């Protein structure tokens, strides 16, 4: 029996490739520190967990396809607080940010259309593009420039008759780069000139450092009909397992189109939406303390990384990832070696080779992504092992 | 800004069209009995709700893309009990049955391919087909024959070079028809002859009456590589809001393909899976009592419907729906009229015109789908109002 072409071609998780090696290392009694995944160790706020604990309805029923009224109402308050005036008929609650991006691609692009995405990018964008039958045109950004948004000219070079949208995450996964207001205005200018949608994945919106404030795509004037905001509670409240996100647009025709896709799958999970609703009332103090914790970790990783000779790493200002360019030629080999061959005091570290975050062949082969989602002590140890491993690997490769 | 062709063409919920009329009726103080939706009033078992209430983890984390190990293990037990021997590496937990069907279409069909679906069919199959870029070829079944599966010859007439699968629900929504072993063997013979997949939506598997036992597609020998089972806890345990379903296949290449689609969206909701896991241990006594309740309701609807002159309705043997062919020419007009014009003692009833369940233009215009998801007393009253309304409507149309 043949399976479909898209089922063959859809990218397998590039991180999953290493999982069997980590498994084997653990089986040998080696402790593996994980810098490879975006699962935060921060505790989920009790306000969220209490909703599950106090659910008192007798029937766990469907909700509306666009999401629970009460939650959309709360989200209006949340975005208003961030100076994003929207109303609840511009919000569709989705099964996590993933579904919101799939909906955005399905509703803005026909099969065969193209979407420009700054690379390195969140690797699952590849899967969403395959599902929607859309081609990703990568817009390469560089470690040396802190993965800054390229010039208008460089963007324009990628635009064809099939281009329908620019998709990006801000703050960026895997880069940690933060697009400022002038960056978004540059994207808006291109979008207006070439009649494109702007799909802004802002799931890390609360994670910006150095006193910066986050600029949303919905802060930019004059692009009301082409701006799409994708959001999720997964990282914001360390609630990845709830699977609650949202799709926001002020373009009402687009909204109605996406609503029909949403109706087909009936609704997002009900109790999880109620939990997400409770999260909106969590005090700002929560974010301040979480941010402080991540900022501390960011500095640890940044400082540890710069103890390595010939490393390229501009300090990222957002999210909880950093891409590091290393003085080696194949980080996939290095990552595998760290799990298969290396250990120090029965410990090693796992990280993501950056190649999987690029669509341009050959790019990122000397880069890794480190997620700083471990506590201070574990993170310091993991970074020590990372440096130690790199030294040994280079020595081993030389002789 | 243009939206995509598929966002324009995807079917809007045909039931939703009537929602504003129901809203208006309620605003006039009229009580509306709902026979139009598949949201059961049966209480969700406490075994399920208790899982939410007792969740004691500190971090609500991602689970594996194929679903929680513990739940897949339990499902193996569940299916074994139903004489379906599978192992957990043949199961992928999905965000409800909807996602399982989307995955099945994405992985078996390329865009432009065709899937044969007996009509009338669950209307959201249209949306799933649009998302996957697949064309539905309807295989018409008839009220007079209790919506029985047509002959091999009739199925063969629909097969083209683009046909990749036959998709059906068993027991059927909206027909209540149950396919017996010989029906499935007929489908298997066609599938083998023309090299097709069989996608069997068995979300109503526990709801079969008259002492019948349900035959699963996985009970049929010789089609291990082409049989796909889609399932869900929504109806089985009256837990529609949990959004937990599954995709099952013994075809390992297909499994690996679907797993990659599953990896792109990371995972289904975590606590809801734990709740679904607890449901597997619910004693059979639960199903016996639920089934008895639905059977009582089925008899009420059937008997009430047959008080109408010139009605066509063969007693359905499964699910909790019945399609009724009425002596009127436009049930959409009738349904709207019941909400806009009719009321008796300040009450009326809402139901689904059947046209939306057909893909063949013009079919089903004289049929309605009634869902028997109300308690005995409400259901009797609703059916009384239905008959009363029909009488008045016919009188009103005549003069």
**Per-residue confidence band for A80, with pLDDT thresholds at 50, 70 and 90:** very high
Interface touch A258/B11, C-beta < 8 Å: no
How many percent of chain B have pLDDT more than 90?
Answer: 94
Q: Which residues of A are less than 8 Å from B126 in CB distance? A: 264
Please check the confidence at residue B15 and state whether its pLDDT lies above 80. no
Residue of chain B whose alpha carbon sits nearest to that of A2: B108
**A159 plus A90 within the same structural domain:** yes
B292 plus B159 within the same structural domain: no
We report the CATH number of the domain holding residue B315 as 3.90.1150.10
The predicted pLDDT at position A7 comes to: 97
pLDDT at A286 over 90: yes
Is pLDDT at B284 greater than 80 in this prediction? yes
Last residue of a domain, one of B279, B295, B329: B279
| CATH assignment of the domain containing B170 | 3.40.640.10
For A54, name the nearest residue in chain B, comparing CA atoms only. B53
Please say if the pLDDT value at position A116 is more than 80.
yes
What pLDDT is attached to residue A248? 98
Summarised one tens digit per residue, pLDDT across range A131-170 is 999 999 999 999 999 999 999 999 999 999 999 999 999 9
Mean pLDDT across chain B, nearest whole number? 96
Same domain assignment for residues A315 and A166: no
A371: closest CA of chain B, how far (Å): 16
Regarding beta strands B197-201 and B163-169, do their DSSP bridges make them parallel or antiparallel, or are they unpaired? Answer: parallel
Residue A374: what pLDDT? 92
Choose from A33-47, A362-376, A385-399 the range with maximum mean pLDDT: A362-376
Residues A233 and A300 occupy one common structural domain: no
In a shared domain, residues A32 and A54: no
Q: Chain B: give the shortest CA distance to residue A63, in Å.
A: 7
CB contact (8 A) between residue A265 and residue B4: no
Chain A nearest-CA distance from B398, in A, is 37
Instruction: Let me know if residue A399 belongs to a domain.
Output: no
How far away is chain A from the Cα of B396, in angstroms, using its nearest Cα? Answer: 35
Check: CB of residue B188 under 8 Å from CB of residue B220. Answer: yes
Query: What is the domain count for chain A?
Result: 2
Select the residue from B68, B135, B260 to test the A interface by mutation, using most A Cβ atoms within 10 A: B260
Residues of B in contact with A12 (CB under 8 A): 260, 263
Say yes or no for a CB contact (<8 Å) between A106 and B6: yes
| Residue B129 clears pLDDT 80, i.e. is over it | yes
Give B242's contacts in chain A (Cβ within 8 Å).
Answer: 60, 269-271
Chain A partners within 8 Å of B101 (Cβ): none
Looking at residue B298, what is its pLDDT?
A: 97
Is position B313 within any domain?
A: yes
Instruction: Return the pLDDT at A131.
Output: 97
Test the B interface: residue of A60, A106, A110, A199 with most B CBs within 10 Å: A60
What's the mean pLDDT in B70-89?
97
- Mean pLDDT confidence for A271-275: 98
pLDDT (mean) for A350-359: 95
> Among A115, A230, A264, A373, which would you mutate to test the B interface (most chain B Cβ atoms within 10 Å of its Cβ)?
A264
pLDDT of residue A37: 81
User: Can you give the pLDDT at residue A17?
Assistant: 80
Instruction: Give Cα A375 distance to the centre of its chain.
Output: 20
Chain B: residue nearest A43 by CA? B59
pTM: 0.96
Give yes or no for residue B398 having a pLDDT over 80. Answer: no
Residues B81-124 have pLDDT tens digits of: 999 999 999 999 999 999 999 999 999 999 999 999 999 999 99
A352-361 mean pLDDT: 95
- Domain enclosing residue A36, as ranges: 5-43+285-394
Model confidence at B371, pLDDT cuts 50, 70, 90, reads very high
Q: Do B271 and A272 touch (CB under 8 A)?
A: yes
Residues B37 and B138 in one domain: no
Residues of B with Cβ-Cβ distance to A55 under 8 angstroms: 49, 52-53
In this predicted structure, the answer to whether residue B39 has a pLDDT above a threshold of 90 is no
A16 pLDDT band, cuts 50/70/90, is confident
Query: Do the chains contact at B52 and A55, CB–CB below 8 Å?
Result: yes
In a domain, B399, yes or no: no
Q: Which of B279, B313, B347 is the last residue of a domain?
A: B279
- CB-based contacts of B28: which residues, under 8 Å, 6+ apart? none
Torsion region of A93: left, alpha or beta (phi above 0 gives left; psi -120 to 50 gives alpha): beta
Nearest CA in chain A to B53: A53
Residue B130, domain member (yes or no): yes
Provide the pLDDT for residue A40: 85
Instruction: Give me the percent of chain A exceeding a pLDDT of 70.
Output: 100
pLDDT for residue B19:
87
Q: CA nearest B226 in A: which residue?
A: A1
Cβ pair A106:B3 closer than 8 A = no
* pLDDT over 80 at A128, yes or no: yes
B158 plus B299 within the same structural domain: no
Helix (H) or strand (E) holding B10: none
> What are the b/e assignments for A198-227, b being 16+ CB within 10 Å?
bbbbbbbbbbbbeeeebbbbbebeebeebb
The reply to whether A69 and A19 lie within a common domain is no
Residue by residue, what is the 3-state secondary structure of chain A?
CCCCHHHHHCCCCCCHHHHHHHHHHHHCCCEEEECCCCCCCCCCCHHHHHHHHCCCCCCCCCCCCCCCHHHHHHHHHHHHHCCCCCCHHHEEEECHHHHHHHHHHHHHCCCCCEEEEEECCCCHHHHHHHHHCCEEEEEECCHHHCCCCCCHHHHHCCCCCCEEEEEEECCCCCCCCCCCHHHHHHHHHHHHHHCCEEEEECCCCCCECCCCCCCCHHHCCCCCCCEEEEEECCCCCCCHHHCCEEEEECCHHHHHHHHHHHHHCCCCCHHHHHHHHHHCCCCHHHHHHHHHHHHHHHHHHHHHHCCCCCCECCCCCECCEEEEECCCCCHHHHHHHHHHCCCECCEEEECEEHHHHCCCCCCCCCEEEEECCCCHHHHHHHHHHHHHHHHHHHHHHHC
Based on the fold, state whether residues B258 and B124 are members of the same structural domain: yes
pLDDT at A19: 87
Do B155 and B79 share a structural domain?
Answer: yes
CA distances from residue A139 to A281, A358, B298 in whole angstroms, order as listed: 38, 10, 60
B372 neighbors B42 (Cβ within 8 angstroms) = no
Inform me whether the pLDDT recorded for B329 exceeds 80. yes
Same domain, A176 and A296: no
User: Residue B12 has what pLDDT?
Assistant: 86
What is the reported pLDDT for B63?
94
Average pLDDT, chain A: 96
Residues A155 and A201 in one domain: yes
Phi, psi values for residue A206, rounded to 5°: -85, -10
The mean pLDDT value for B46-54 works out to 97
* Chain B residue numbers touching A239 (CB-CB < 8 A): 60
pLDDT of residue B69: 97
Distance, CA of B379 to chain centre:
21
- Answer with the one of B279, B295, B321 that is the final residue of a domain: B279
Distance between start and end Cα atoms, chain A:
48
Flag whether pLDDT at B38 surpasses 90. no
**Chain B residues in contact with A257 (beta carbon < 8 A):** 3-4, 7-8, 10
CB contact under 8 A, A102 and B8: no
Express each pLDDT in A32-65 by its tens digit: 999 998 788 899 999 999 999 999 999 999 999 9
Residues of B with Cβ-Cβ distance to A222 under 8 angstroms: none
Residue of B nearest to A239 (CA): B60
Count A/B contacts: CB-CB distance under 8 Å: 237
């Amino acid at each position: 029996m043949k399976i479909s072409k898209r089922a063959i071609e859809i990218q397998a998780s590039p991180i999953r490739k290493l999982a069997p090696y980590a498994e084997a290392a653990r089986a040998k009694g080696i402790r593996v520190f994980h810098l490879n995944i975006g699962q935060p160790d921060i505790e989920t706020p009790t306000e969220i967990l209490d909703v599950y604990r106090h659910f008192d309805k007798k029937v766990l029923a469907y909700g509306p396809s666009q999401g629970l009224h009460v939650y959309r109402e709360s989200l209006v308050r949340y975005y208003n607080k961030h100076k994003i005036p929207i109303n609840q008929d511009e919000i569709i609650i989705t099964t996590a940010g993933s579904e919101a991006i799939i909906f955005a691609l399905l509703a803005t692009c026909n099969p065969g259309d193209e979407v420009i995405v700054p690379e390195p990018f969140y690797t699952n964008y590849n899967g969403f593009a395959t599902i929607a039958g859309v081609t990703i045109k990568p817009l390469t950004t560089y470690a040396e420039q802190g993965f800054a948004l390229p010039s208008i000219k460089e963007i324009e070079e990628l635009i064809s008759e099939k281009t329908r949208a620019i998709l990006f995450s801000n703050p960026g996964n895997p880069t940690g780069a933060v697009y400022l207001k002038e960056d978004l205005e540059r994207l808006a200018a291109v979008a207006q000139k070439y009649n494109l949608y702007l799909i802004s994945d802002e799931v890390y919106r609360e994670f910006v450092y150095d006193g910066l404030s986050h600029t949303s795509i919905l802060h930019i004037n004059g692009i009301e009909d082409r701006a799409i905001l994708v959001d999720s509670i997964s990282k914001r409240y360390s609630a990845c397992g709830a699977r609650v996100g949202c799709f926001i647009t002020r373009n009402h025709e687009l909204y109605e189109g996406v609503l029909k896709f949403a109706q087909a799958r009936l609704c997002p999970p009900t109790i999880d939406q109620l939990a997400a609703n409770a999260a909106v009332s969590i005090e700002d103090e929560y974010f301040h303390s979480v941010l402080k914790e991540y900022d501390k970790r960011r500095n640890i990783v940044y400082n540890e990384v710069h103890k390595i000779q010939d490393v390229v790493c501009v300090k990222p200002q957002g999210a909880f990832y950093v891409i590091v360019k290393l003085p080696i030629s194949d980080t996939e080999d290095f990552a595998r070696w760290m799990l298969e061959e290396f250990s120090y005091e029965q410990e090693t570290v796992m990280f993501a080779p950056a190649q999987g975050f690029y669509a341009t062949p050959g790019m990122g082969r000397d880069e890794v992504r480190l997620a700083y989602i471990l506590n201070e002590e574990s993170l310091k140890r993991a970074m020590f092992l990372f440096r130690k491993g790199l030294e040994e690997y280079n020595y081993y490769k030389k002789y």
